[in-house]
Amino acid sequence: MTTATGRSAGTGADEKPEHSADRTRRFGPGTPLRAAAGFALAAIVLFAVAPLVLGDFRLNLLAKYLCLAIVAVGIGLAWGRGGMLALGQGVFFGLGGYAMAMHLKLADAGPGNLPDFMQLYGQIDKLPWWWEPFANPVFALAATVLLPVFVAFLLGSLVFRRRVRGAYFAILSQALAAALAIYLIGEQGTTGGTNGLTDIQGFFGFRLDDPLNQRAVYFIIAACLLLMLALVRQLMHSRYGELLVAVRDAEERVRFLGYDPANVKLVAYMVAAGMAGLAGALFVPAVGIISPALIGVVPSIEFVIGVALGGRATLIGPVLGAIAVAWAKTTLSEQFPAAWTYLQGLLFVIFLAFLPNGLASVAGLVRRRRPAPADRKAAQPKSVPLTAETGGAGQ
pLDDT at 30: 58
At position 279, the amino acid (one-letter code) is A
- pTM metric for this prediction: 0.83
21 band by pLDDT with thresholds 50, 70 and 90: very low
Q: What is the pLDDT of residues 77-125, one digit of tens each?
A: 999 999 898 889 999 999 999 999 999 999 998 888 888 888 776 567 8
Give the mean model confidence (pLDDT) for residues 184-193.
88
pLDDT at 359: 75
Q: Given a cut of 90, is residue 1 above it in pLDDT?
A: no
Give the mean model confidence (pLDDT) for residues 62-66.
95
pLDDT at 120: 76
Q: What is the pLDDT of residues 331-340, one digit of tens each?
A: 877 777 777 7
Q: Given a cut of 50, is residue 227 above it in pLDDT?
A: yes
pLDDT at 270: 96
